[in-house]
Amino acid sequence: MVKFSLSEREYERRVEKVRKVLRRRRLDALYLTNSTSIFYLTGYSFITTERPAALIIPLDGKITFMGPLLEKDHVPLKTRIIEDVKTYVDYPGEKHPIDYFADFLKEMKLANKRIGIDNKAGAAGIWGYRGPPITKKLRGAKFVDMKDLIPSMRLIKSEEEITLIRESAKWANLAHSLLQEYTEEGLWDVEVALAATYEASTIMKKTLGPEYEPLRRSVPVSAGFRGQVGEMSAIPHSMATKRVIRKGDVVVTGASADVGGYSCELERTMIVGKPTAKQKRYFNVMVKAQEAAFNTFKPGVKCSERDRQSND
C-alpha cells in the first residue's frame, strides 16, 4: 500500500527531539519562521508572503502557530501537531504583526525566558521582511541562535521519508518519459511541458486514488525544460526560451512529484533526432562522470570526494 504522508508519530518524534535539545541547552521554547522547518515538524504547509508567520514549540505547553487570520481555518485541516493558533488581522494593519507576536509570547509566559530562534527578526517571507525585530519587542527575553537545528535534523532521512522520496521518483520518471515522447520539432517547450505535466498528474491521481493530495505544491507532478533547449541548454538555470524545438537540439529536462510533501529531483539530457559525433562524445563524457560519482557512493564518503571523482 502506497503511503501519501508521514505518520503523526513521525512528527511527534521530531518534536520530542527538539524538546530534548531545548532541555540540554536550557531553553524554554523554539521560535521558527522558516516555512520548510515548520512543515518538517508539523506537516503544515502554507504560502509564505510578506505576512509574518511563526511556530512556537515550548518546552512545556501547546505547540502554537502565529500568523495572519487567513491561516486560522487552514491549520486544523492539515495537522494535529499544532495545538493552538494565534492570529492577527493584517488589514487595515493598525497594529504591527510583530507587536501581536510579542503579545502572544507574553500570553504563553515566554516574555522573560530563553528562546531559541532561527531568525532574530522574528519573521520571514518570500518577499523578505521589513519591520521591527522581535528581539526589540521582548527585551526581557534571551534569544539564542538556533537556525541550524532543523536543517541538521533534516540531513538524516527516516525510513518513512525514504519511502516517500522513492515514490516521488517513480512519478517524476513517468513525467520524464512523457516529455521524451511528446518532444517534437516545431513545438515550443512550454507546450510539451504542459502536456506531460497534465498527463502525469492525471495518471498519478487516478492511480493513487481519492486520498492522495500534494502537500507542498499546487500540482502533483511538474515537468519541463525551463527554456534549456538548443543553445540555451548550456545555461544551467535558464528560465525560458522564445524559439521552438529544432532537429539536433540538446534539451535538458527536469521533473519532480509531491508525495507527502517530499519531492525527488530528476534531470536528464536528451538530443532531438540523431546525435552528431560531437554530441555523442560530450554525452558519453557526461555519462562517465555520472558513473564515477555513483561508484563513490558509500557510507562515510564526503560529497566533496564524489564531486572530485566525477571531475577527474
Q: Of 134, 154, 174, which one is at a domain's C-terminal end?
A: 154
What is the predicted pLDDT for the residue at 4?
86
* Chain center to CA of 284: 32
Residue 177: all three cell numbers together: 518519459
Question: Beta partners for 56?
Answer: 31, 64
Q: Are residues 124 and 27 in the same domain?
A: yes
pLDDT tens, residue by residue, 258-271: 999 999 999 999 99
In the predicted model, what is the mean pLDDT of the chain?
Answer: 94
What is the predicted pLDDT for the residue at 177?
96
Q: Of 154, 186, 212, which one is at a domain's C-terminal end?
A: 154
Half-sphere exposure of 257 (CA within 13 A, CB side): 30
Q: Are residues 234 and 289 in the same domain?
A: no
Q: Are residues 268 and 285 in the same domain?
A: no
Domain-located, residue 121 = yes
Domain-located, residue 170 = yes
Other beta carbons less than 10 A from residue 4's beta carbon? 18
Q: CA-CA distance, 60 to 289, in Å (whole number)?
A: 51
Q: Are residues 33 and 89 in the same domain?
A: yes
**Of 43, 123, 54, 50, the residue nearest 90 (C-alpha):** 50
Q: Are residues 19 and 121 in the same domain?
A: yes
**Mean of pLDDT values over 228-246:** 94
**Mean of pLDDT values over 4-25:** 96
**Domain around 209:** 159-274
* Chain center to CA of 166: 16
Other beta carbons less than 10 A from residue 136's beta carbon? 12
User: Could you tell me whether strands 29-32 and 114-117 are parallel, antiparallel, or unpaired per DSSP bridges?
Assistant: parallel
- Name the amino acid, one letter, at 297: F
- Reported as a pLDDT band with limits 50, 70 and 90, residue 129 is confident
Q: CA-CA distance, 244 to 271, in Å (whole number)?
A: 14
Whether 203 shows a pLDDT value over 90: the answer reads yes
CATH number for the domain that contains residue 207: 3.90.230.10
Q: Are residues 70 and 115 in the same domain?
A: yes
N-terminal to C-terminal alpha carbon distance within the chain: 43
Q: Are residues 51 and 104 in the same domain?
A: yes
pLDDT tens, residue by residue, 44-92: 999 988 899 999 999 999 999 999 999 999 999 999 999 999 999 988 8
Query: Is residue 120 a contact partner of residue 141, using CB atoms and an 8 Å limit?
Result: no
Q: Are residues 172 and 224 in the same domain?
A: yes
Domain-located, residue 76 = yes
Domain-located, residue 22 = yes
Number of independent structural domains in the chain: 3
Q: Are residues 118 and 213 in the same domain?
A: no
Query: Is residue 32 a contact partner of residue 55, using CB atoms and an 8 Å limit?
Result: yes
Other beta carbons less than 10 A from residue 187's beta carbon? 13
Q: Are residues 133 and 33 in the same domain?
A: yes
What is the share, in percent, of the chain residues with pLDDT greater than 90?
Answer: 85
Domain-located, residue 2 = no
What is the predicted pLDDT for the residue at 306?
76
Domain-located, residue 163 = yes
What is the predicted pLDDT for the residue at 141?
97
Domain-located, residue 3 = no
pLDDT tens, residue by residue, 82-121: 999 999 998 888 899 999 999 999 999 999 999 999 999 9
Q: Of 154, 177, 196, which one is at a domain's C-terminal end?
A: 154
CATH number for the domain that contains residue 123: 3.40.350.10
Q: Are residues 112 and 200 in the same domain?
A: no
Domain-located, residue 241 = yes
What is the predicted pLDDT for the residue at 300?
86
**Of 164, 157, 159, 206, the residue nearest 4 (C-alpha):** 164
Q: Are residues 27 and 117 in the same domain?
A: yes
Using alpha carbons only, give the angle 136, 141, 145 rounded to the nearest 5 degrees: 85
Place of cell 540538446: 250
Q: CA-CA distance, 312 to 296, in Å (whole number)?
A: 13
Please provide the DSSP assignment of the chain as one string. ----S--HHHHHHHHHHHHHHHHHTT-SEEEE--HHHHHHHH-------SS--EEEEESSS--EEEEEGGGTTTHHHH-SS--EEEEE--SS-SS-HHHHHHHHHHHTT-TTSEEEES-TTS---TT---S--HHHH-TTSEEEE-TTHHHHHHTS--HHHHHHHHHHHHHHHHHHHHHHHH--TT--HHHHHHHHHHHHHHHHHHHH-TT---SSSSSSEEEE-TT-BGGGGG-TT----SSPP-TT-EEEEEEEE-BTTB---EEEEEESSSPPHHHHHHHHHHHHHHHHHHHT--TT--HHHHHHHHH-
